């Protein structure tokens, strides 16, 4: 990422990532499709009712491991392989600690939290069973995301794609097996997801070990380095918490949705699945600029960093136009993948289509969030992601508490777009301030080193 055309590099880096993330969304969709088709609307609503909590823990794992990989990316760009390998080893240990703590905490709080958001009684049992299974298996997505992030940190976005494709196919097969052949219901789809993620994590780990000798760990590498662990958490936790903070807003919106009954919950669940498929391009561009920025920061090339952000911005604008078109044309046919056209209440489909087409008008602001918030994380900032996430949370909470009473279902639909506008306007401003700050700091350090070298030579 330190040489060549930024556009070409980020495009080639993004294409495998985009395919991989779409497949990741696809096998997440399969859970919902299988449940909706073969178990029923209530089961579909039960899985959908947990979406905020799923987003919280899975987003936590993604943000945490992306943060862990920042140091690897920076040290790789600087050619410091010893520190890079040590950071990799400490990331493995920190991921284990994080998964154990978060799994235990949320498993204990699962049912009380579902009751807190007023999950309808006819779906709360299945909802609890589904989400508690996801919580217990949290180590699987954490380690898959970690190893994938490490591969992307050194510029390899193709290998995680291959492993994800294998995992996706396995997940589909297991979904069908644990729902149709062995009638485990919602537990079956959650269990299938966990097994698939374990397989993909193991494939990534052994591939890194074989393909990249620089990551082969010795006993000394695994010795606890408290300072490095602290540094990893300093970058990783804000990224993880930004997803969690956003998820709190999503959960509050889910509480508002729950008050409309299980049919609206089902419509909203399908709508958010379609939304995730359409908007994955923004998260991919965020990962691309994060890796680009991290490697070029390690190389000390600020002119190239700025150019990279400009290129990523215009790529995002193009992606915004594309996603808005997709939202209009593919929502209805996709919605019917989840339910039986002949037996499903038409209002469920209508509410789903209304949701996706309405929020698509605000995708530009979502793109700004991913480009500048994730990009700043690649530059080593933990504060900017956190500030933007808090602004997103505040806006979403205010909207969720006020608009549904005034606008009904439209008020719930507008909660996320309003949050995107709030955070999307802040992130670019924070980026421009931060890039000037770290460039000035870097220039001062370089001048000090040159001055010291000159004095030492003279002496």
Q: What is the pLDDT of residues 396-420, one digit of tens each?
A: 889 988 998 888 889 989 999 999 9
User: pLDDT over 90 for what percent of the chain?
Assistant: 28
The token duo for 267 is 């419509």
Residue 459 has pLDDT above 60, yes or no: no
Q: Determine, yes or no, domain membership for 265.
A: yes
Coil/strand/helix, residue 203:
helix
For the cut 80, the answer to whether the pLDDT of residue 106 exceeds it is yes
Q: Kindly state the average pLDDT of the residues 130-135.
A: 92
Distinct helix (H) and strand (E) counts, the chain: 17, 0
- Is residue 60 scored above 90 in pLDDT? no
Q: What percent of the chain has pLDDT over 70?
A: 95
Q: Do residues 13 and 155 make contact, with C-beta atoms less than 8 angstroms apart?
A: yes
- Range among 281-285, 318-322, 335-339, 372-376 rated most confident: 318-322
| pLDDT surpassing 60 at residue 138 | yes
pLDDT at 458: 52
Confidence band, pLDDT 50/70/90 cuts, at residue 358: very high
Residue 450: pLDDT band by 50, 70, 90 thresholds? low
Q: State the Cα–Cα distance between residues 308 and 302, nearest whole angstrom.
A: 10
Residue 451 has pLDDT above 70, yes or no: no
What's the pLDDT score for residue 93?
Answer: 92
Q: Rounded distance, CA 249 to CA 253, Å?
A: 6
**What is the rounded average pLDDT of the residues 72-93?**
86
Residue 218: pLDDT band (50, 70, 90) is confident
Number of neighbouring beta carbons within 10 Å of residue 70: 28
Position 452 confidence tier, pLDDT thresholds 50, 70, 90 = low
Taking 70 as the threshold, does the pLDDT of residue 39 lie above it?
yes
| pTM exceeding the 0.75 threshold for the entire prediction | no
pLDDT of 243 higher than 70: yes
What is the reported pLDDT for 206? 92
CA distance 305 to 302: 5
Q: Are 91 and 150 in contact (CB under 8 A)?
A: yes
Q: How confident is the model at residue 14 (pLDDT cuts 50, 70, 90)?
A: confident
> Which residue segment(s) compose the domain that 300 sits in?
6-458
Question: What average pLDDT does the segment 432-437 reach?
Answer: 90
Q: Is the pLDDT of residue 457 over 60?
A: no
Average pLDDT over residues 233-237: 83
- Reading the block at residue 340, the tokens are 């039986």
Per the structure, the count of domains in the chain is: 1
Average pLDDT over residues 283-290: 90
Which pLDDT score, from 0 to 100, does residue 90 have? 92
Predicted pLDDT of residue 213 = 87
Question: What mean pLDDT is predicted for residues 113-129?
Answer: 88
Residue 1 lies in a domain: no
C-alpha closest to that of 359 among 422, 421, 426: 421
Tell me the pLDDT of the chain averaged across its residues.
86
Which pLDDT does position 278 carry in this prediction?
A: 92
For the chain, first and last CA: distance in Å? Answer: 39
Domain presence at residue 343: yes
Per-residue confidence (pLDDT) for residue 454, from 0 to 100 = 59
Mean pLDDT of 33-55: 82
Q: Tell me: pLDDT of 371 over 90.
A: yes
pLDDT of 355 over the 90 cut: yes
């Amino acid at each position: 990422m330190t040489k060549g055309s930024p556009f070409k590099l980020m495009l080639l880096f993004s294409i495998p990532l985009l395919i991989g993330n779409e497949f990741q969304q696809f096998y997440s969709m399969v859970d919902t499709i299988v449940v909706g088709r073969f178990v029923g609307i209530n089961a579909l609503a039960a899985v959908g009712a947990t979406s905020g909590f799923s987003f919280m823990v899975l987003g936590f794992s993604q943000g945490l491991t992306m943060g862990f990989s920042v140091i690897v990316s920076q040290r790789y760009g600087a050619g410091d392989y010893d520190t890079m390998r040590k950071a990799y080893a400490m990331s493995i240990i920190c991921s284990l600690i994080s998964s154990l703590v978060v799994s235990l905490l949320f498993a204990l709080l699962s049912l009380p939290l579902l009751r807190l958001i007023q999950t309808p009684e006819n779906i709360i049992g299945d909802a609890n069973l589904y989400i508690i299974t996801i919580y217990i298996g949290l180590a699987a997505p954490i380690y898959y995301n970690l190893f994938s992030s490490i591969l992307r940190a050194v510029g390899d976005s193709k290998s995680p794609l291959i492993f994800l494709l294998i995992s996706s196919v396995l997940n589909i097969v297991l979904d069908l097996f644990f729902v149709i052949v062995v009638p485990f219901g919602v537990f079956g789809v959650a269990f299938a997801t966990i097994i698939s993620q374990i397989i993909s994590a193991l494939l990534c780990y052994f591939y890194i070990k074989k393909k990249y000798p620089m990551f082969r760990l010795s006993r000394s590498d695994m010795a606890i380095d408290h300072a490095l662990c602290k540094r990893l958490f300093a970058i990783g936790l804000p990224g993880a918490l930004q997803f969690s903070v956003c998820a709190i807003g999503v959960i509050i919106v889910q509480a508002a949705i729950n008050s409309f009954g299980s049919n609206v919950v089902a419509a909203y669940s399908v709508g958010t699945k379609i939304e995730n498929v359409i908007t994955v391009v923004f998260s991919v561009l965020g990962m691309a600029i994060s890796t680009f920025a991290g490697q070029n920061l390690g190389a000390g090339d600020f002119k190239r960093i700025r150019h990279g952000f400009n290129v990523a911005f215009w790529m995002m604008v193009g992606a915004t136009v594309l996603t808005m078109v997709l939202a209009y044309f593919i929502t209805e046919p996709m919605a019917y993948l989840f339910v039986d056209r002949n037996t499903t209440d038409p209002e469920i489909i209508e509410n789903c289509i209304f949701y996706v087409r309405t929020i698509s008008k605000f995708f530009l602001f979502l793109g700004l969030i991913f480009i500048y918030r994730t990009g700043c994380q690649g530059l080593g900032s933990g504060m900017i992601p956190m500030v933007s996430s808090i602004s997103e949370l505040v806006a979403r909470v205010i909207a969720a508490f006020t608009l549904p009473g005034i606008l009904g279902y439209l008020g719930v639909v507008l909660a996320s777009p309003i949050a995107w506008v709030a955070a999307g306007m802040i992130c670019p401003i924070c980026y421009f301030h931060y890039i000037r700050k770290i460039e000035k700091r870097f220039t001062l350090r370089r001048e000090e080193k040159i001055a010291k070298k000159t004095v030492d030579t003279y002496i």
